[in-house]
Amino acid sequence: MRNVCIAGNWKMNMIPSEGKAFAAQLIDAASKAAENETVVVAPPFITIPAVIEAVKGSPIKVAAQNMSDQASGAFTGEVSADMLLDAGVTYVILGHSERRALYGEDDAFINRKVRYALEKGLNVILCVGETLEERESGRLEQVLQTQVTEGLKDVSASQMADVIIAYEPVWAIGTGKTATADDANSAHSFIRGVVADILSEDVANNLIIQYGGSVKPNNVKSLMSMEHIDGALVGGASLTVEQFAPIVQFND
């Protein structure tokens, strides 16, 4: 059985005091999660230290939502891998569609970040996914193939133990529209096939592939029941304990 990972992407929400209070309330649900499940929250950079403090000694892991591809130096506004590691961060989300669309991040740039994060010992959640226009014009597989292949360029089979792929169809993010469990499962199965081709069957079989895009307490069970769906990357519903706790405990 593959491992499972439920991650909450807070985006630009939660000031430090809110994040701290939220994290403390989530510990109970995270402690009751299944043995093969990892629970991750991704606060904004400034909120990370307060959350790390609050989750100390609990099973909750903390992710950053982005990271520089550079080690240090004159890069105003950027945050390095060493800074994240020193703060206690163990995961980083890279290539989120909002970074791709709003800040012009392309596959080559994302790949530099992926390789650097892995070199530094961070776990990576690499986001991929098509726009509605790409899906409707029949380019779903081509887009996923490119994003996965380019995003994982020069990543070794052994480094893949620290990689999660999040399939997030852009049209389902924050819109209330979820891919059907069958559509998501077939995209996940395609992604697994691409990983098998570029790395190995073994790597592909062990890879956690999360679904993201309007995951809620009422659809998480059907998504998680699918063969190739091993977790969720949750935006809006990760902002209240009322919604996120039942997602974390989808197995109950």
Cα 65 to Cα 46: distance, rounded to the nearest angstrom: 11
The answer to the question of residue 214 lying near ligand PGA (CB under 6 A) is yes
Q: Which of residues 52-71 bind ligand PGA (CB under 6 A)?
A: none
78 is catalytic: no
Q: Report CA-CA distances (Å) from 196 to 141, 157, 202.
A: 15, 10, 7
The answer to the question of residue 174 lying near ligand PGA (CB under 6 A) is yes
Task: Tell which one of 234, 243, 248, 249 touches ligand PGA (CB under 6 A).
Answer: 234
The answer to the question of residue 168 lying near ligand PGA (CB under 6 A) is yes
Q: Is 100 exposed, middle or buried (0-12, 13-18, 19+ CB in 10 A)?
A: buried
What's the token pair of residue 199?
Answer: 């790395």
228 is catalytic: no
Contact 241, 22 (CB under 8 A): yes
* Helix count and strand count (H, E) for the chain: 11, 8
What's the token pair of residue 90?
Answer: 């163990």
Q: How far is the CB of 86 from ligand PGA (least distance, A)?
A: 26
Catalytic residue among 105, 130, 168, 188: 168
Q: How far is the CB of 144 from ligand PGA (least distance, A)?
A: 16
Cα 7 to Cα 19: distance, rounded to the nearest angstrom: 15
Radius of gyration of the chain (CA): 17
Of the pair 199, 247, the CB lying nearest ligand PGA is at: 247
Applying CB under 6 A, what is the total number of residues that bind ligand PGA?
A: 13
Catalytic residue among 96, 130, 188, 228: 96
The answer to the question of residue 212 lying near ligand PGA (CB under 6 A) is yes
Task: Tell which one of 40, 117, 173, 207 touches ligand PGA (CB under 6 A).
Answer: 173
Q: How far is the CB of 244 from ligand PGA (least distance, A)?
A: 10
Q: Count Cβ atoms below 10 Å from residue 193 Cβ, excluding itself.
A: 17
Q: Which stretch binds ligand PGA (CB under 6 A): 63-71, 113-121, 137-145, 231-239?
A: 231-239
Task: Output the DSSP codes for 147-181.
Answer: HHHHHTTT--TTGGGGEEEEE--GGGTTSS----H
Q: Which stretch binds ligand PGA (CB under 6 A): 30-38, 103-111, 114-122, 167-175?
A: 167-175
Task: Tell which one of 124, 213, 228, 231 touches ligand PGA (CB under 6 A).
Answer: 213
Task: Tell which one of 233, 243, 249, 250 touches ligand PGA (CB under 6 A).
Answer: 233
How many residues are given for the chain? 252
Binding site for ligand PGA (CB under 6 A): 9, 168, 173-174, 212-215, 233-237
